[in-house]
Amino acid sequence: MDLDSLDSVRKGAQVFLTKSQGKLNVVIGNAGIMATPYTLTKDGFESQFGTCHLAHFLLFHLLKPALLASATQDYPSRYVSVSSSGHSYGTVNLDDLNYKSTPYNEWLAYGQAKTANIWMANSIERHYGAQNLHATSLHPGGIFENSGLDKFIPAEMKAALLGDENLMRIFKSSAQGAATSVYAAVSRE
């Protein structure tokens, strides 16, 4: 599934629903990009907002009937939105999602998408929690290995991060970061 294309998301959801016979208890919205140069998705949205949020939003709504149908009191369904501490970079500028009137800043764009993910999880919980479909958002921690998210971070910034022993102590491995999402998906809490 290519999250840069809403048509691909629609097709991917349909394939999944057909193969799963409409059964689904957990969705983890994790795929994303970070701090990219300004580009647009195939549908004309700023790439980080389109890929990190709108594609997840559409996927959730396409899979929502299966999540609701599969949910029970004993085994509720869950939507886990992988956000980031990057949400603190700012809020969502609904009047200029594509940066037509505002100078593009790759970190603000990333934060905007991650804030929207938090809002979405909160909204899902409010609207569907009583129907045993719960949602949460999380920051998996700083992960600096094999995530691919550092693709657009300048080499000098990467070198500075890797050279900071104090900072490197708080970074997590990919497995530790994934454990946060898995816990949110299956914990009884």
Domain containing residue 97: 6-186
Tell me the one-letter amino acid at 9. Answer: V
Q: Does any domain span residue 1?
A: no
Which CATH number covers residue 141?
3.40.50.720
Annotation says 114 is catalytic: yes
Domain count, the chain: 1
Using alpha carbons, select from 136, 134, 124 the residue that is nearest to residue 75. Answer: 134
- What's the N-to-C CA distance of the chain in angstroms? 31
Catalytic residue among 47, 64, 77, 114: 114
Annotation says 11 is catalytic: no
Three-class secondary structure of residue 11 per DSSP: helix
Catalytic residue among 47, 64, 84, 110: 110
Average pLDDT by stretches of 10, the chain with 189 residues:
97 98 95 89 97 97 98 96 78 92 94 95 98 93 65 72 73 82 89
Q: Does any domain span residue 156?
A: yes
Annotation says 110 is catalytic: yes
Q: Does any domain span residue 73?
A: yes
pTM of the model: 0.87
Q: Does any domain span residue 103?
A: yes
Tell me what pLDDT residue 151 has: 67
Tell me what pLDDT residue 178 has: 86
Catalytic residue among 47, 81, 83, 137: 83
Using alpha carbons, select from 37, 55, 167 the residue that is nearest to residue 106. Answer: 37
Do residues 90 and 111 lie in contact, with contact meaning Cβ atoms separated by under 8 Å? yes
Using alpha carbons, select from 181, 169, 115, 118 the residue that is nearest to residue 144. Answer: 169
Do residues 20 and 26 lie in contact, with contact meaning Cβ atoms separated by under 8 Å? no
